[in-house]
Amino acid sequence: MPARCGQGQALPLHRGITLRLSKLFARTLREPPSDAESISHQLLVRGGYIRQLASGVFSFLPLGWRVIRKIEAILREEMDAIGGQEILMPVVQPAELWQESRRWYDVGPELVRWMDRAGHDMVLAMTHEEVVADLARKEIVSYRQLPQVVYQIQTKFRDEPRPRGGLIRVREFHMKDAYSLHTSFEDLDRYYPIISDAYVKIFKRAGLDVARIEADSGMMGGTSSHEFVVIADSGENTIVRCENGDYAANLETAYCASPQNLASPLNVSEPSLPLEEVPTPHTTTIDGLAHLLNISTAQTLKSMLYSVNDEVAMVVLRGDRTVNEFKLPKVLGTDKFRLATADEIRAAGAVEGYASPLGLRQVKVFADQSVRWGTRFVVGANKDGFHTRNAEVLRDLGIAQVYDLGNVQDGDRCAQCGGRLTFQHGIEVGHIFKLGTRYSDKLHATYLDQNGASKPIVMGCYGIGSGRLAAAAVEQHHDDKGICWPPPIAPYHIHLIGLGLADPQLRQTAETLYQELLRARLEVLYDDREDAQAGVKFNDADLIGIPIRATLSPRSLKAGGVEIKLRHEPQSRIVPLPDLTAALGALVGQMIVR
């Protein structure tokens, strides 16, 4: 069922701005582009908001750019309210900064690199931590200058391998990125909730219902991070949420309670039994093994072998669980790993499809916590065509330490309250990070404390994509006819439609009304097309999605004035011409409240 059209809160912006639809530098489309998968991509293209220039690269047309400017006005206002100072940093940056931070070597082809005519390596900025750290080491001298918060709204470029969803995942994008500088981790911890609350206000004012979730810091690094996500079927992020509402996280970082903590039958002590080797010919999968031996996959252990720094490491987990490769780097100590080849597996003394830690003392083993969720497991015998029954994790496999390496599964239990965990899809619209001293250490961004000692500046960074926020708003606020913009970020507040404009008297009445609305400093998109039929005009109005539709026609005049209809409501009403401007102004005022 399509999402219900919504209302939000924002400061009135660009008052008195109007546009005649006959002069609009864009046109609506009856059909979406063939490659448009998400609702927002389809409707933004059809409504004349955006046009694709290349894969993941879009032009914002007049209506679309007005939406972006309104979003950015909200961003500026809320960032200024918490002491942010707006700056502008270059999108073109020297490679030396990225080499100092080591991200020149760590980031893959997403970072666009080239050499200028003088032979200097350069990059197109995908983010600005390095530049902020460079500015800080030049501008910050004393603890008296801290804390500081700077932000910018700027274009960035990330060479995404698979752009998708229109504005949801692009290569060139508009972003508000902010950076805070502190004397200590404690001061960063004090500020972090302030920026988080500001983000909640931003999304609320933009008319979005978001969830704040724990997230992976990824290439940004740091001690912790949180995402703000809009729940939407088209979202590419998998969100794990507790049914009781006390826990939410990205699947990349989500964790769950162990069955033992929930009095699971798996916690029942079972007597140890001797190892028993059983023939399992041509059985190299967990599902096949469980079927052959007539057991549950939870009674098996699976072993995944990885090549890490030219050595083979084994990850072991219960057979019904899957490896979370976003968690692996924290345990392996590097994000440079891959699945081992058949030759590497053989060289380590294991057998592909029949591997386990059994007898492999020379291979480093990293076990997921799920290996403790049972006893008497079936494991590979490191022998072609054989598995071993009754394996005990400590006695036979030598596993004493475990880590959180697995994916949470739908139906697992919340570690906070024991409630059921469920999966949803979401669109990330904001991300905040505690960077700590990752960048200040490498770029030597320091300050002098009260005792004159040099200390690294502690950093945080905070991002919101304005284009992605616009797309998320469409995903959350649309119906089967088109977009239903939350009023604070709608390109215009009023869509004035003139019908029967071939009649000179009616056209003059419409023109007089239009000018009166302008003088009242209301935002109006005026459909003044003489050759368009009523059905076309109404369809375009629904597609474009402006919150208030005002229709002047022979029929409305006969009924006593102008027909007023809110985009998210089916009913309309007639307002007398003399009262119209005041009535529209009041409606806009009710919708656009800070």
- How far is Cα 433 from Cα 222, in angstroms, rounded to an integer? 7
If we measure between CA atoms, which residue out of 46, 154, 150 comes closest to residue 464? 154
**So what's the pLDDT on residue 269?**
60
Cα angle 305-309-314, degrees, rounded to a multiple of 5: 20
Query: What pLDDT sits at residue 362?
Result: 83
**What single-letter amino acid sits at 450?**
Q
Structure-token pair, residue 270:
């079972």
Rounded to 5 degrees, φ, ψ at 267 are -85, -10
Q: Give all strands (DSSP E) within 349-457, no chain letters.
A: 364-368, 377-383, 386-391, 402-403, 421-436, 446-448, 454-456
CB 227 within 8 A of CB 431: yes
Handedness of CA 441, 447, 449, 454 (dihedral sign): positive
What pLDDT, on the 0 to 100 scale, is given for residue 393? 92
Query: How high is the pLDDT of residue 235?
Result: 78
Residue that is written with structure tokens 């119209």 in the block: 580
CATH of region 65-255+421-473: 3.30.930.10
pLDDT of residue 263: 44
Query: For every residue of 96-142, which 3-state class applies, written as one string?
Result: HHHHHHCHHHHCCCCCEEEECCCCCEEEECCCCHHHHHHHHHHHCCE
> Six-digit token pair at 38?
């998400």
Query: Could you tell me if 191 and 219 are in contact, meaning their C-beta atoms sit under 8 angstroms apart?
Result: no
Distance, CA of 463 to CA of 175 (rounded, Å): 7
Q: Domain 262-403's class?
A: alpha beta
Dihedral sign, CA of 35, 41, 45, 49? negative
* Structure-block tokens of residue 355: 């591997």
The pLDDT tens digits along the chain (594 residues) read: 344 454 444 434 444 456 899 999 989 999 988 888 899 999 999 999 999 999 999 999 999 999 999 999 999 999 999 999 999 999 999 999 999 999 999 899 999 999 999 999 999 999 999 999 999 999 999 999 999 999 999 999 999 988 988 999 999 999 999 999 999 999 999 999 999 999 999 999 999 989 888 876 554 455 678 999 988 877 778 888 888 888 888 888 888 988 765 544 444 467 789 999 999 999 999 999 999 999 999 999 999 999 998 899 999 999 999 999 889 988 998 888 999 999 999 999 999 999 999 988 889 999 999 999 989 999 999 999 999 999 999 999 999 899 999 999 988 999 888 899 999 888 999 999 999 999 999 999 999 999 999 999 999 999 999 999 999 999 999 999 999 999 999 999 999 999 999 999 999 999 999 999 999 999 999 999 998 999 999 999 999 999 999 999 999 999 999 999 999 999 999 999 999 999 999 999 988 866
Query: Which H helix or E strand runs over 476?
Result: helix 466-476
pTM of the model: 0.83
Long-range contacts, stretch 25-28, CB < 8 angstroms, 24+ apart? 25/61, 25/62, 26/51, 26/61, 26/62, 26/63, 28/540, 28/543, 28/544
* Contact (CB, 8 A) for 71 and 489: yes
C-alpha pair distances (Å), 175 with each of 72, 178, 356, 463, 542: 9, 10, 47, 7, 29
State the chain's maximal CA–CA distance in angstroms.
Answer: 99
Pairwise CA distance, residues 574 & 546, whole Å = 19
C-alpha–C-alpha distance, residues 547 and 485, integer Å: 6
- Return residue ranges of the chain for CATH 3.30.930.10: 65-255+421-473
Instruction: Give the span between the Cα atoms of 544 and 478, in whole angstroms.
Output: 10
CA-nearest of 365, 418, 474, 457 to 180 is 457
pLDDT value of position 12? 41
Q: Is 543 left (phi over 0), alpha (psi -120 to 50) or beta?
A: alpha
Residues of the chain with CATH 3.40.50.800: 18-64+474-591
CATH 3.90.960.10 in the chain, residue ranges: 262-403
In this predicted structure, what is the pLDDT of residue 18? Answer: 65
Coil, strand or helix at 149: strand
Q: Which of 148, 144, 82 is nearest to 448 (CA)?
A: 144
Radius of gyration of the chain (CA): 30
- Between the alpha carbon of residue 414 and those of residues 58, 202, 225, 247, 368, the distances in Å are 41, 29, 20, 7, 18
Pairing outcome for strands 454-456 and 446-448: antiparallel
Sign of CA pseudo-dihedral 221, 226, 229, 231: positive
How far CA 73 is from CA of 67, 109, 148, 155, 406, in Å, comes to 10, 33, 21, 16, 42
DSSP 8-state secondary structure symbol assigned to residue 5: P
Task: Give the angle subtended at the CA of 232 by the CAs of 252 and 568, to the nearest 5°.
Answer: 160
pLDDT of residue 335: 82
10 Å CB burial of residue 115 (0-12, 13-18, 19+) is exposed
The pLDDT score that the predictor gives to residue 261 is: 54
Say whether domain 18-64+474-591 belongs to CATH 3.40.50.800.
yes
